[in-house]
Amino acid sequence: MNKEQFDKQKIIDHWVTGSDDDFDTMIAMYDTHRYSWSLFLGHLTIEKLLKAYFVKVKRDYPPFTHNLLKLAKDSELEMSDELKINLTTITAFNLNTRYDDYKRSFQKKCTPTFTLDWINKIKKIRLWIKEQIK
């Protein structure tokens, strides 16, 4: 990698801005009762912040993965056991790589209560990671 062309802050800002957009869309999807899509966007919200954190601490491009726990570990982010469990669960919200039967099963699981519970967890994780990026 050409370090002279690597603009760390610009790359961090790119990931954080994308995360903020996905966060707003997550809320909009919840408000319109698209619960599984809301959680999918919650996954993207956290993924992009973890990629921003990776760039901050590793001064390199983040790996091509949607696995949140792997991103956090690769970044050497200090995590509680609860956070590790939550990141593993949120990773399962990534619907792009799932089969149709899994998507249908997941959609049934995404009641308003289930979704709101996870949105609240995602909000807390989001704020915590943003603090680590500062």
CATH number at residue 110: 1.20.120.330
Domain limits for position 23:
3-133
Residues 21 and 31: their CA atoms lie apart, in Å, by 15
Per DSSP, the residues of 63-109 read PS---HHHHHHHTT----HHHHHHHHHHHTT-GGGS-HHHHHHHHHH
Residues 26-70 pLDDT 10s: 999 999 999 999 999 999 999 999 999 999 999 988 989 999 999
Q: At residue 128, does pLDDT exceed 60?
A: yes
Express each pLDDT in 62-109 by its tens digit: 989 999 999 999 999 999 999 999 999 999 999 765 678 888 889 999
Side chain identity, residue 10: K
Residue 36, C-beta contacts closer than 8 angstroms, at least 6 positions apart: 93, 95, 103, 106, 107, 110, 115
**Structure confidence at residue 66 (pLDDT):** 94
Domain count, the chain: 1
- What is the Cα–Cα distance from 131 to 35, expressed in whole angstroms? 27
pTM of the full predicted structure? 0.92
